[in-house]
Amino acid sequence: TLMLAALVALPACSDRKESAQELLTSRLVERRDVDFQNVETFPEGVVCGEYRTNDPMVVRNDFHRFIVRGEEVETRASELDWKIFCSRDPAGALFTTLGIGPVDNADTQLPKLRTDLMLLQEALAQYLADNFTLPTSEQGLEALVTAATIPPLPLKFKPGGYIATVPLDPWGRPYHYERDALSGGVAQEFRLFTLGADDAPGGTGKDADIDTGQLKYLDLVAP
């Protein structure tokens, strides 16, 4: 039975590798004669490997790491993404590298953190689309519920707001929100995070700091 299951799995893995390579190639500017090596499949359908393009205009055609997750393609995978996504145990890798987890420990509250951060991130994206800027750090996340009364005032605030209420983190504290200074005339960058149960920088387990930049890892290990 085990041998039969392995034989069935082989074509599926091969198909995932091929579709991942095709998807990556479609995202490249130079799509001719793309070489691949060390392409492997990982949990949740993730495909990792290395590629290079044979562009005659490039002096050095080195291999670059890539990661394909669903329709998401990273053509220059970071070291951190590589360690977590390209692991046989991504949950373990997440805990080892960032101290987030363990996933099966209810004290870490990862499902709620993921839900809250996704909700707030989507609301901020909608606010930005309507008003061409994000709420300032001073206006805070409450600017998603009711229109801010301190400048800069929103240009086109959505009737009813972007969320009904601002959620608190699992330990009853507000999520931290910081908007970066203006860049190119439009404020589009922000940091949204919790400092964990201890409400202090650093820490592991329930005390780990988690921000929206780590949502992609939570999507993988704590859906």
In this structure, which amino acid lies at residue 102? P
pLDDT digits (tens, 9 = 90+) for 19-64: 999 999 999 887 778 999 999 999 999 999 999 988 766 666 789 9
pLDDT band at 89 (very low <50, low <70, confident <90, very high): very high
Assigned token pair, 51: 């590629």
Tell me the pLDDT of the chain averaged across its residues.
Answer: 90
Q: In this model, does residue 219 exceed pLDDT 60?
A: yes
pLDDT at 111 exceeding the cut of 50: yes
The pLDDT of 83-94, averaged and rounded, is 97
DSSP per position, the chain: -HHHHHHHHHHHHHHHHHHHHHHHHHT-S--SSEEEEEEEEEGGGEEEEEEEE--TT-S----EEEEEETTEEESS--HHHHHHHTSS-HHHHHHHHH----TT-GGG-HHHHHHHHHHHHHHHHHHHHHHSSPPPTTT-GGGGTS--SSSSPPSSPPTT-S-SSPPBPTTS-BPEEEEPPPBTTB---EEEEE-TTTTSSS-SGGG--EEGGGHHHHHHH--
Residue 81 has pLDDT above 70, yes or no: yes
Residue 11 has pLDDT above 70, yes or no: no
Using the predicted structure, report yes or no on whether residue 8 has a pLDDT greater than 60: no
pLDDT tens readout for residues 143-182: 999 999 999 899 999 999 999 999 999 999 999 999 986 6
CA distance 197 to 56: 54
Asked if the model's pLDDT at residue 6 lies above 50, the reply is no
Rounded to whole angstroms, what are the CA distances from 137 to 99, 116, 127, 145, 167?
27, 19, 14, 15, 17
Q: Evaluate if residue 140 carries a pLDDT over 90.
A: yes
Q: What is the pLDDT of residues 190-211, one digit of tens each?
A: 999 999 999 999 999 999 999 9
Kindly report, residue by residue over 93-104, the tens digit of the pLDDT.
Answer: 999 999 999 999
Q: What is the pLDDT of residue 173?
A: 97
